[in-house]
Amino acid sequence: MTAAASPAPIAAMAPCWGLALPPPLAALRDLALDLRWTWSHRGDALWERIDAELWQRTHNPWILLEDVPAARLAALAADPGFLAHLDALAAERRAYLAAPGWFAETHGRAALAGVAYFCLEFGLGEALPLYAGGLGVLAGDYLKTASDLGVPAIGVGLLYQEGYFRQMIDATGWQQEAYPYNEPTMMPVQPVLDQAGTRLHILLDLPGRRLRLRVWRAMVGRTALYLLDSNDALNTPVDRGITGKLYGGSTEMRLLQEIVLGVGGWRLVETIHPEIEVCHLNEGHAAFALLERARSLSARLGIGFEEALWVSRAGTVFTTHTPVEAGFDRYPMALLEQYRHAAMGPAAEKIAAIALSLARTERGAPVNMAFLALRGSFISLGVSALHGAVSRRIFQPLFPRWPEREVPVGHVTNGVHMPSWESPEADAIFAPAGGEARWQRMAEPLRDVIAAVDDAALWEMRGRSRQRLVTAVRARLGRHLTGRGHDPAMVARAESVLDPNTLTLGFARRFTGYKRPNLLLADHARLERLLGDPHRPMQLVVAGKAHPADEEGKRMIAEWVAFTAHPEFWARVVFLEDYDIALAQELVQGVDVWINTPRRPWEACGTSGMKVIANGGINLSMLDGWWAEGFAPDLGFAIGATTAPDPAAQDAADAAELYTILEREVAPAFYDRDPAGIPRAWIARIRRGMAVLAPRFSATRMLRDYLEQAYLPASAALRRRLADGAAAARSLRAWERRLHHGWKSLHIGAPDMTAEADGWSCHVPVYLGEIAAEDVRVELYADPPRSDAPGDAPGNAPGAAPSVALARGAPVAGAVNGFTYAGRVVTTRPRRDFTVRILPSHPEARVPAELPLIRWQE
Ligand SMILES: *Cc1c(COP(=O)(O)O)cnc(C)c1O
């Protein structure tokens, strides 16, 4: 088995695609194509040396190489100093790629052959604008972390011709959308070729035509991101547009995108990386992949589709991201019918019937991609503890009569790739104590690294970072104002917005109702008092896009833009247009306080607040998503502890709390300085935040959790199910059939509960009807005690339910296949709390994830 990111077995790269370099400079090409430069700044000096101006303007080595004059390249090819610099950098890269990495050292390479991470968007940096927001940035951070840790993973996504829109704010404060064209030759991607040296195409059958998908590869350190696009000259004009816009087209286009990503993506994996074991569906968009995988397995192994599902499921992991059922993608049957063949392959009739039974809870309902993903996955996870609980409620209908708390959705809280978000200033003070690989470590060593830096150095780092943000904001604002045709006097004002010594608040996110991006504007007078406080002033930088169809979001943007025109506060509040990764980096590196005000529990996780931690920023956020589990009073600030009867009252209460905390806690702590001018209490909070929160909310921790909770168990199960011609999968399918067939014949008699000193002993007659005793498990069950603690979602009270297995004893006299089951439970709870139930049981199956049958005592 080879590592997933090693060069593809049949695909080679075009030797001179898009770029001709003098031979001595050949190594530049690999350096420029490796997106590691989006987080490792070792190469910056080299690129600057090639062309300082181009580097400053683009910060994109690939564009730089394409634009630098040939004469300049020729000169560099003859410059020994430059060639030595290039050699050193190329050697450093080789060493990074060759290092065994944390994964191989900890688990051994053989533990996992590879993971294919499917996502509709990937946000690695502005050089590859194939993302809209948090989901994509998470996917980008995931790949970078996989590279750093040496986890064998690849990404599978789409190369959009236009991607997500770019935002302009017009003179009236209204958002305008623009879709610049993504020219593949201008992006650090390479076409994947087949063995014959021609471009590899993945083919899909659409009604009356064959869709040809081109394949691109972006290198992310040791990891590869494969991208499919339909813009092939032989496709119909409409089909060429399938991979046009991200989240922009009709329902039909979206379905086609998901077929391309799921079915096309899985074919791509089988063609280029057949060793891949785990298919990770990051959100339900790519769920067709599991049907394609099962279809292909069934053909290859000569087993039925349902048997093949038992194989493919073992190798599938699903992460759900939405906290509301309305957030799931759904397709009307009529539409799916049209593309059934494409989505499900040749034996469409039968497969479709099975797929539909997985993807819906009732006949006639639209096909729900999240349901399909969950039903086809071995392990399903939410993205924070709170979101896990919310997801168990949302997916409950797939597990009829199962208690909500046993719905098989756990969670792995998201994390961010700290090196991508850390400022040069923070890097400069922590690197000497911690080394380049400090973010790959967990809590203990990091704590020492932070302790090694003194208060004065930390505070100076904060000052320099804030200063850099102020400079960057002025430059951006100046460009925006110029671009809108303002007169020079107005443009000149940009030069004096913000102050490098003032407490700086940042707020940037998608402008949509539940994020409440205008909560800070709830009471203008109070906000103005905070900003204008003569002794403890504040300033605020705001950014964010609204989805093109979201009028409410656009109105909220206009409200902020209007506020920034306030004659007294224009220098204290700035709205920056076109929130993207580059702007996010500037913001999270420079602000003192990052504000987040979602309506609970709608923020499934949220990641932007994690990015400020590496830079000594502090969070002030609703107790929602990650902050509900990360917050402690000595680490940051929280609002939302109270629950109001309706949303309007909740908004008012949360806004009031937000102002009060800013006024009474945040400003005093920031401005309370000792004789040396250092805010000791503030620094102490930064220090604790970095030591406690950075390791917990880094993508290093996230990826380790995914490995331990999902990938390693999944790959082990997959191997067992594949062994001996998929014998285990065949046996599991036969078991499933037996249970489906005989389940109705089960019957539980009246239990006899006898009090004992420390609990109960139970004897119960169970009539198994047509079912073999080995196929089921009989349990004595009680709901966990209710908890009314505010942090607990209903039905998710902590504490394990006393649920004990009952052992099969003597046959019930005169009954066919009836037995007395018996057991004891140690408890103080009353007898009425306990019920007997029967569950499917098989040593290889995950119940109820893979078979949600249950029978309760009547
Ligand atoms: C991190 C990030 C996000 C996600 O942040 P949230 O806290 O989930 O809003 C969105 N967009 C960009 C550009 C980001 O960098």
Rounded CA-CA distance 856/362 in Å is: 22
Binding site membership of 598 for ligand 1 (Cβ less than 6 Å): no
CA-proximal residue: ligand 1, atom 3 (nearest)? 134
Which residues on adjacent β-strands are paired with residue 168? 176
Binding site membership of 608 for ligand 1 (Cβ less than 6 Å): yes
* 388, HSE (Cβ side, Cα atoms, 13 Å): 22
Binding site membership of 581 for ligand 1 (Cβ less than 6 Å): yes
Cα of 488 from ligand 1 centre, angstroms: 33
Give the DSSP letter string of 655-678: HHHHHHHIIIIIHHHHH---TTS-
Rounded CA-CA distance 251/204 in Å is: 19
Rounded CA-CA distance 616/594 in Å is: 11
pLDDT tops 90 at residue 822: yes
Rounded CA-CA distance 199/116 in Å is: 22
pLDDT tops 80 at residue 88: yes
Where are the domains positioned within the chain?
450-697, 727-856
The answer to whether the beta carbons of residues 117 and 155 sit under 8 Å apart is yes
CB atoms within 10 A of CB 629: 16
Nearest to 158 by CA among 61, 268, 277, 290: 268
Rounded CA-CA distance 230/385 in Å is: 38
Q: What are 827's two structure tokens?
A: 């408890």
Binding site membership of 554 for ligand 1 (Cβ less than 6 Å): no
Q: What is the pLDDT of residue 788?
A: 47
3-state DSSP percent of the chain in helix, strand and coil, to 5: 50, 20, 35
pLDDT tier for residue 7 given thresholds of 50, 70 and 90: very low
Chain segment 543-563, per-residue pLDDT in tens:
999 999 999 999 999 999 999
Chain segment 348-376, per-residue pLDDT in tens:
677 778 888 888 888 888 999 999 999 99
Rounded CA-CA distance 853/858 in Å is: 16
Domains 450-697 and 727-856 alike in fold = no
Q: What is the pLDDT of residue 343?
A: 76
Cα of 584 from ligand 1 centre, angstroms: 7
Helix 712-742 with 288-301: angle, nearest 10 deg: 80
- If you average pLDDT over residues 191-200, what whole number do you get? 92
State residue 690 phi and psi, 5-degree precision. -65, -45
Mutate to test the pocket of ligand 1, among 509, 578, 603 (most ligand atoms within 8 A of CB): 509
Q: What is the pLDDT of residue 802?
A: 64
Of all atoms in ligand 1, which is nearest to the CA of residue 509?
Answer: 9
CB atoms within 10 A of CB 632: 11
Q: What is the pLDDT of residue 9?
A: 42
% the chain with pLDDT above 90: 82
Q: What is the pLDDT of residue 513?
A: 93
Instruction: Say if residue 848 is preceded by a cis peptide, omega within 30 of 0.
Output: yes
CA-proximal residue: ligand 1, atom 1 (nearest)? 608
Binding site membership of 621 for ligand 1 (Cβ less than 6 Å): no
> Which CATH number does the domain 727-856 belong to among 2.60.40, 3.30.160, 3.40.50, 2.115.10?
2.60.40
Least confident stretch, 417-426, 453-462, 757-766, 799-808: 799-808
The SS3 of residue 567 is: coil
Chain segment 13-66, per-residue pLDDT in tens:
444 466 789 999 999 999 999 999 999 988 999 999 999 999 988 889 999 999
Of all atoms in ligand 1, which is nearest to the CA of residue 416?
Answer: 1
Q: How far is CA 35 from CA 62, 225, 414, 424, in A?
A: 10, 10, 22, 18
Chain segment 376-431, per-residue pLDDT in tens:
999 999 999 999 999 999 999 999 999 999 999 999 999 999 999 999 999 988 88
Would you give the distance in Å from CA 759 to the centre of its chain?
Answer: 45
State residue 583 phi and psi, 5-degree precision. -70, -40
Amino acid at position 775, single letter: D
Quick one: CA torsion of 848, 849, 851, 854, rounded to 10 degrees? 20
Of all atoms in ligand 1, which is nearest to the CA of residue 607?
Answer: 7
pLDDT tops 90 at residue 447: no
The answer to whether the beta carbons of residues 635 and 692 sit under 8 Å apart is yes
Pick the more confident residue, 6 or 371: 371
pLDDT tops 80 at residue 4: no
Q: What is the pLDDT of residue 356?
A: 81
Binding site membership of 606 for ligand 1 (Cβ less than 6 Å): yes
CA-proximal residue: ligand 1, atom 5 (nearest)? 608
Q: What angle do CA 81, 86, 90 make, to 5 degrees?
A: 150
CA-proximal residue: ligand 1, atom 11 (nearest)? 133
Nearest to 637 by CA among 623, 651, 655, 650: 623
Mutate to test the pocket of ligand 1, among 608, 615, 621, 622 (most ligand atoms within 8 A of CB): 608
Q: What angle do CA 581, 586, 590 make, to 5 degrees?
A: 145
Chain segment 763-797, per-residue pLDDT in tens:
999 999 999 999 999 999 998 876 544 433 333 33
Q: What is the pLDDT of residue 359?
A: 86
CATH code of the domain made up of 450-697: 3.40.50.2000
Binding site membership of 291 for ligand 1 (Cβ less than 6 Å): no
> Exposed, middle or buried: residue 634 (CB in 10 Å: 0-12, 13-18, 19+)?
exposed
What global pTM score does this model have?
0.95
Amino acid at position 737, single letter: R
Binding site membership of 607 for ligand 1 (Cβ less than 6 Å): yes
As a whole number of Å, the CA-based R_g of the chain is 29
Q: What is the pLDDT of residue 433?
A: 77
Name all contacts of 133-137 with Cβ < 8 Å and 24+ positions apart. 133/164, 133/509, 133/510, 133/545, 134/510, 134/606, 134/607, 134/608, 135/282, 135/283, 135/321, 137/581, 137/584, 137/607
